Structure 1
C-alpha cells in the first residue's frame, strides 16, 4: 500500500512540475524590458531608409508656407522613360511633393508608381516606389435588382484635375513623403514604372507639422445645434476602388436596418485595411462652433489587435493628436470618440460645407512593424546563406564545418539575437509582462542562441528555423492589416449627446425574428440585373457570395451596354450535372469543376 502511495505521489509531483513548465528545474531566460526611447534606436538602423532621412533632416521646418514651382504645364511621361526638370529653392527645409492629376484609362484601378531622383540621386530607398493616390467616387445613383436587393454602386476615378501628394508603399510612414531641399538650383527626375504618368502643376510645398492640441474652454459655450450624422456608406471619395460598402444584418442598431433584401449600410471592413488607404465624406455645418467626433465602429478582425486612423478635416490634420485615433478590438459594435490624450477632442467647424477623411495608419505600432520587417529580411538572408552550404535537405550526421565556411552568418546571428531580445523587451515594457505577444521572438532568440552554442544543430532544426521565420512574416502581415467597419460618423456639438449605438432587447429580438422569416421567403442565392430585358441568359455560379457580388456587378455593366439581361444563381457543387440530365440546366455555368458540362 505504501509503495502504491509513493508511486502516486511521485507521478503527482512530476505532473505539477510539467504543468509549471519546469520552472523549478530550468529557469527560463529573463528578458529585460526595453523602454520606447531605447527601442527607437533600432528604427533608425538600416541603409538609407526614410526613417534615417527624417531623423537627420526632420527638424528643418520652414516657419512660413512656401511653394516651389517645378512646372505648371500638363505633361505625360511614358512608362519606362525618365524626364528631368529644373527648379530653384529659396529656403532650406522640408517639402512635400504635390501635383494635380486627372482620371485616365491608363493604369486602370492601380495608383501609378514612379521613382524619383533629386540632383541625380535617390534621397532614400523608399523614393524608388512613390505614387500619387487617386480619388474614386460613385459614378451613378444606387439601383435595386428585381429581388429588391441593392446593387453595389459602380466606382470611377474622378475625371477632373485634383491635387495629390506623393507617398511611398515601401515606407511604413503612411502620410505624405517629405523631402529636404537646400536653397539653390536643383533637378528632379521622374520615372514611371508600368504606366504613363500624366500630371500638371508639380510643386514642392513647405511641410507644416500639425500643432499640439489646445483644449478650448467650452464650459460656458452655448450651442443649439443638433448632431451632424454622416452615413458611412455614403462616402464622397475613396483612395481605392477596393474599399467597398458592406451589408450588416446582425444588429438592429445599424442604419439603415437590413433584415431582408440586401442593403449596403456600412463601409469598409476587411476591404479597408491597407496602409494609407482613406475614405472621405462631405457634410454641412449649420451653426459654427465646437464639435466632438463620434463613430459607430466594428473592429473584430485580427484577434485582439487595434485599428488606427488619422483624421483630416478639409484635407488638413487639425492637431497633432488627430494623427492616431485608436479603435480597440471588439466583437461588438462600439462607440469610438476622437481623443486628445485622455479627454474627447473638440473640433472647431465654421458654417458651410466641409470634408472629413479617415486614413489607415499603423499608429502606435508603426515603428515596431518596421523594425520587425527589417528583422525578417535579415533572417531570410541568414537562411538563404545557410542553405547555400547545407541545402534544404541536409544530412543530420555530416559535419558541415559552418563556423569556418560561413563565419559572417554567425556574426549576423549574434546581432539578430540582440534585436530579438530588444523587440521582446519592448513588448514586455508595453504590455506589462511576458505573454503571447513575446513568445515568438523569445523562441526564435533561444533557437539562435542554441545555433551559436552548437552549430551542428542547424542541420537538424533547419525546418523548425524556417517555420519560425514564416511565423515572423505572419506576425507582420497580421499587424500590417488594419481593417475597420463604420456605420456612421457624427459631429456632436457642445451640450448635445451622441446617437445611441444599441437598441432595446425587444427591438433586437424583433429584428432577429424578421431575419429568420426572410431567410425562408427570400432566396439570397439568386441575383438578377437591375431592370428587365427582352433577352436574358441564366448563369449558374459555384463560388462564394463575395465573388458572386463582383460577377453580378460585371453582369449589370454588360446588361446596360448590350441590352441582355443576366440571371445569376449560386448553386452547390454537383448540381449542374443533375440539372443538365433533367433538362433544367442553365445557359452558362462558370467556376464549376472540370468534370461538369
Structure 2
C-alpha cells in the first residue's frame, strides 16, 4: 500500500472514530461473546388435537404414559430377510455387499419383522447406500405395524455425501478463484433415522411394546440400497461435567502448546452440494482477498436448512484435552441465534453440543466452545485422525414454530367462520356500512382472538428468553398481537377488514416461522488447540475500518468489478444471470465450443439487462445476449437491432429442439429473432393428502374446479389462481389477442368476452382470493391445497419443504373439453432467450455459438453440472425438450411437465402490445374490485389497446400518416398440441 493510501486510511479512521457512538460503531453485537445465549430447547407445549400426530406431541403423550427409552437393542435384520416386498423391488450385490435390497422407484416398499425384548422407545437404524440419481437426498417413509407413528415418519431424509472437486479452487486468468464442482462420495453408511428438517435434535424414537412388530420402508424419492435394518436403544450423551470427570482418568500427554488451523472452506465432506465455499470480499477473513474473488469462507445463507452438515478432518499428535475455536460471522438476522449440532467422529461428546448457539454479531468473532458462564470446554481426543461435524440445527425453535403454526391455523379458522357467516371472500365483497353483529353470531370470537393474542405473546416471550435479547425481529408478530386484541374488543372488525388484510397478518406469522427454521452461519477458520486462549485476535475496529477504506479506493480500479473475459479475439456474450452460471458457461465454452470450432468466447456477466439499451444507444452491443426476457427480443427487432435467426440456412434444424409455441414471442414481421433458453411452465399443484382427506380429486377441467370449490370453501380451503394469469383462459376459449395481421385487438369477439367473463367471475362469483402474497406458504400450510403456479414454486417445495415430500403432486392445468372429447390446456409461461445483435461483425461465429449453447448435449451437461455445483435449487429448466429429458427430474414430475409442455403457447409480440396486459389489468380491476360490468370494461380496454397499436404501427411503418396500410404483420399461431418438431 502506498503512502498516500496509508495517509487517507489513517484520516478516515480518525474521522470514523471521532463520530462513532460509544462502544464502537462496528463492535460485535454480542459484546465480544462474553455472554453466551442459552442452548436449552424450550419444552414442547400441548397443542390442539389436530396436531396430535406431530412427533413432539407423540413424545409428550408417551412421556405422560411413563414410557422411557429402551435399555437394550432389539436386534438386526439383514435386508435379504424381508417378510414381504413390492413386486418391482429388486435384490442383488451392490458395492461390496451381497443380497442387498434395492428400491429404485417411488412407492416401492419392503417389510421386516422384528422381535422387541421389552416395552420402550427405540431408534431405527439403517445400513444404506444412496444409488445414482439426482443431487437430492434419498427420502423414505417408515410405517410401524401398518401405520405412520407420527407425521415426520412419512418423509425421512437420508442425505448423500459430497465434496468439492478442488482445494484450493482453481484460478482464472484474472486471478479470481472459480467455484469448484461437486463430487458425490458413494459409500455404505449406518444412519439412525431422523426428522427431515431436524426439528428434533435427536434421532426419531418409536414406542414399541414387547413382542413382534412389522416395519415397512417405503421409497418416496430417489433410489437407494439397503443392507441391514436394526431397532436399537437410543443413545444419550452425558452432560459436560460427567464427560469431563471421565476424561480426567485418561492419559493426558498434551503438555506442549499446540495449535491446528483448519481453513473452514477446506471441507472433507458435506451432506448437500449447496453447502458452498464463499468469498468474503474483504481482508478480514483468511486468506486475504486483496481485491480478488477468493473462496476463503464457507456457509452463510447456503448453510441454513436444518440437517445440512459440513465435516472437516484433522489429526492430533498426542492423546489429551483440546479446545476447539471457531472464527465465525453470524450477521444475517438481527437478534437471532444460529444453532449447530457438533459431533466428533460421529458421536456427540456431551449434551451441551447437541444444539450449540452462535449468537448474532455484526463482525467476525473468534470463540472457543464454552459453557454459559464463558468457560471453554476441554474435549478429550486420542492421537490420530478425527472428524468434526457441524449440522444446522433449528430444533431449539421447534416448540415455538409448532405453536406459531397452531396460532396461524386458529386465526385461519376464525377467518373461515367469518366467511361462512358473511359470505365475504375477497376485497370486492366488503361493505363497511353493514354491521354483521358478529358478537352474537360468533359469541366466542372475542375470547378466541384474545386467546390467540395471549398465545402469540407467550411465544415471543419464549424466543426472547431463548435468544437473550429484546427480539426486534419479532415486530411483525407484535403488530399481529395488536390487531388481534383490537378485533377482540370489536369482533365486527373481522367483517369490515378485507380478507387480504387478514392474509397479511397470516403472512407475517408464516414468514416468521420460516425464518426461525433457518440457521445461517459463516465460518472462516477452525482451531484445535491445547490451551483455551484465543488462537487469533478477531478483527478490531481499526482493522474493519481500514478494510472498508481500502475497498472503497479499490472501487476506482477498472478491474474492481470483473464481469468476464475480455479477449479481443473472442466474440462477446453477455449473460443476464449470476456469476456461478457465467463461470460455468465460460468453462464449457472453452472445453467444448472453442476447442472444436476455434472460435474464442468472452462470456461476461450482465448485472442489469438495461445495459443492453444503453449499449445499443452507444453502438457497443455484444455479439450475443443470453438470459433475455421474452418481450425484449421483439422490442429490439422492431428497431432493426437484431439478426433474424430464421435467415440462417440451418435454422429449421435448430428450431426442432424447441416446442413451437416457445418461438411465438420471438417472431416479428416474418422473422424469428431469438431462440428460447429456459421455460417456466404453469402447472397445477395439489396437496394429495388434503384433497384425499376431504374426498376430492385434482380438477382436470375448469368445470371440475367450479364443482370442487363449494366443498373446499366449506372446509375453509381455497383455490389459487394468479390474477394475472389470463393467457390460458383466452387461449382455451379459442380467443385471439390480435387479428391475424396484428393491426388491432381481437379480444372483442364472442370467445374473448367469454374468456374475460370466466376470468373475472373466478373472483367475483366463485370467491377466489384477489391478493395472495405467497402461494407457496399457503400451500405448505395447507389452507390453499390446490392452485396454479410455475417452476419457482416447484423448486421451493422441493428444496424448502421436504416435510411435504409424498404429500403433493403436479398435474396439467385445468382445461376446456371440446366436442371431440379433447381437453384443451393451452397455457404459457415465462421464457428466457438468446439473441444476436445486428452490429456484430462475426454473425456466423455468434450463430455457431448460439447453436452450440442451445444444443441437447450442451444444455444437458450444463444443467447437470450447475445442479451439482450449487445444489438442487439450481435445477436448470432448459427449453430444449430432449435436454430436459436428460436432467435429473423425478420421473413422475417430468411426465407431468412434458404433458403440459405440448400445450405451451404465448401471446405474440406486436408494436404497442405492452398495452394489452396493462389495459386487461385495468379492466380486471374495474370489474372485480369496483363491480363494473365486465363487457363494458373489456370494450373500453380494447378501444385503448387499438389506439396504441395504431399509433405504434404508424411509428414502425405499417401504416402511413393517413392511416392507410403500407404492409401487414403475419402473426404466428399454433392450432394443435405439439407432438414433436416444427416451427409455428
Taking the aligned partners of 2:151 and 2:109, their CA distance within structure 1 comes to: 18
CA distance in 2, matches of 1:40, 1:329: 25
1:142-291 map, 5 Å: 142-169=169-196, 172-214=199-241, 215-216=244-245, 223-252=255-284, 254-291=285-322
Q: Deviations over 1:410-430 (max 9, x none)?
A: 675454344224334545766
Partner of 1:456: 492
2:155 matched residue in structure 1: 129
Query: Deviation digits for residues 411-463 of structure 1, max 9, x if unmatched?
Result: 75454344224334545766899874665555434533443443322122344
Q: Quick check: 346-355 or 90-99, which moved more?
A: 90-99
- Which stretches in structure 1 are left out of the alignment for 5+ residues? 1-35
Cα distance in structure 2, aligned partners of 1:230 and 1:115? 38
Structure 1 residues 88, 482: CA separation in 2 closer, same or farther (over 3 Å shift)?
A: same
Deviation at residue 584 of structure 1 after TM alignment: 5.6
Instruction: State which drifts further: 414-423 or 295-304.
Output: 414-423
1:405–1:193 Cα change, 3 Å: farther
* Structure 2 counterparts to residues 87-486 of structure 1, below 5 A: 87-106=114-133, 108-141=134-167, 142-169=169-196, 172-214=199-241, 215-216=244-245, 223-252=255-284, 254-342=285-373, 343-362=375-394, 364-388=396-420, 389-393=423-427, 394-400=430-436, 402=438, 412-413=448-449, 415-426=451-462, 436=472, 440-441=476-477, 443-462=479-498, 463-486=500-523
**Inter-partner Cα distance in structure 2 for 1:182 and 1:282:** 41
CA distance in structure 2 between the partners assigned to 1:157 and 1:282 by the alignment: 18
**Contact 2:74–2:233, Cα closer than 8 Å, also in 1:** yes
Deviation, structure 1 residue 480: 1.9
Is contact 1:94-1:181 (8 Å) kept?
A: yes
Note if contact 1:126-1:170 (Cα within 8 Å) is conserved in structure 2.
Answer: no
* Other structure's SS at 1:172 match: coil
- Could you tell me which residue of structure 1 aligns to residue 69 of structure 2? 61
Residues 292 and 366 (structure 1 numbering): CA distance in 2 closer, same or farther, change over 3 Å?
Answer: farther
Show the counterpart of 1:3.
none
Contact 1:227/1:496 (<8 A) preserved = no
Q: Which has the higher helix share?
A: 2
Cα shift at 1:182: 2.6
TM-score (norm 2): 0.51
> In the alignment, what sits opposite 1:29?
none
Check 1:525–1:386 CA distance in 2 against 1; reply closer, same or farther (3 A cut). Answer: farther
User: The residue matched to 1:102 in structure 2 has which SS?
Assistant: strand
Q: What residue is the counterpart of 1:539 in the other structure?
A: 573
Larger RCO of the pair (alpha carbons < 8 Å, separation 6+):
1
Report how far residue 344 of structure 1 moved.
1.2
Q: Aligned to 1:159, what secondary structure does the other structure show?
A: coil
Q: 2: distance between equivalents of 1:435 and 1:113?
A: 35
Structure 1 residue 302 displacement after superposition: 0.7
Q: Call closer, same or farther: CA 1:500–1:427 in 2, change over 3 Å.
A: closer
Aligned CA distance change for structure 1 residues 255 and 71 (closer, same or farther; 3 Å): same
Shift of 1:282: 0.7
Choose the corresponding residue for 2:57, options 45, 52, 60. 52
TM-fit CA distance, 1:503 = 7.2
Moved more, 492-501 or 240-249: 492-501
CA-CA distance at 1:211 after TM superposition: 0.8
Greater strand percent: which structure?
1
* Structure 2, unpaired ranges of 5+: 1-39, 81-98, 637-834, 836-984
> What secondary structure sits across from 1:444 in the alignment?
helix
CA distance in 2, matches of 1:434, 1:143: 45
Q: Secondary structure at the match of 2:628?
A: coil
For residue 592 of structure 1, give the secondary structure of its aligned residue in structure 2. Answer: strand
Q: Bigger shift: 324-333 or 378-387?
A: 378-387
In 2: Cα distance, 1:285 partner to 1:448 partner: 58
Q: Secondary structure at the match of 1:390?
A: coil
CA contact (8 A) 1:286 1:351 kept: yes
1:246 offset after TM fit, Å?
0.7
Bigger Cα displacement from structure 2, 512-521 vs 266-275: 512-521
Secondary structure in structure 2 of the residue aligned to 1:520: coil
In structure 2, distance between residues paired with 1:510 and 1:460: 55
Partner of 2:399, secondary structure, is helix
Distance 1:100 1:521, change over 3 A: farther
Task: Provide, for residues 311-331 of structure 1, a one-character-per-residue CA deviation record: whole Å limited to 9, x for no partner.
Answer: 000011110011122211111
Q: Partners of 1:49 and 1:506 in 2: how far apart?
A: 49
Q: Quick one: distance in 1 between partners of 2:353 and 2:42?
A: 25
Kindly indicate whether the alpha-carbon contact (under 8 Å) linking 2:156 and 2:194 is maintained by their aligned counterparts in 1.
yes
CA apart distance, 1:124: 0.7
Distance 1:457 1:582 in 2: 58
Deviations 1:93-113 (A, max 9, x none): 33333333435332x121232
Equivalent residue for 1:7? none
> Helix, strand or coil: the match of 2:505?
helix
Task: Report the Cα offset of residue 172 of structure 1.
Answer: 2.2
Once the two structures are TM-superposed, the CA of residue 37 in structure 1 deviates from its matched residue by 11
Distance 1:145 1:164, change over 3 A: farther
Shift of 1:196: 3.6
The DSSP-based 3-state class of the residue aligned with 1:527 is coil
Q: Cα–Cα, structure 1 residues 76 and 409, in superposed 2: closer, same or farther, change >3 Å?
A: farther
Instruction: Answer whether contact 1:132 1:165 (CA < 8 A) is retained.
Output: no
- CA change 1:400–1:115 in 2 (3 A) is farther
Kept after mapping to 2: 8 A contact 1:390/1:400: no
Which of 515, 535, 539 pairs up with 1:502?
Answer: 539
How many correspondences in the alignment?
553
CA contact (8 A) 1:218 1:494 kept: no
Task: Report the Cα offset of residue 204 of structure 1.
Answer: 2.8
- The question of whether the paired residues in 1 share the 8 Å contact of 2:319 and 2:383 is answered with yes
How many Å apart are 1:509 and its aligned residue?
A: 3.8
**Which residue is equivalent to 2:609?**
573
Larger radius of gyration: 2
* Superposition TM-score, scaled by structure 1 size: 0.82
Q: Would you say the 8 A contact 1:403–1:410 is kept in 2?
A: yes
Q: CA deviation at 1:231?
A: 0.5
Match of 1:303, SS state, is coil
Q: Aligned partners of 1:332 and 1:404: how far apart in 2?
A: 56
| C-alpha deviation, 1:281, in angstroms | 0.6
Q: CA deviation at 1:308?
A: 1.3
- Deviations 1:479-527 (Å, cap 9, x if unpaired)? 2221100001111213765223337958984895488448615353333
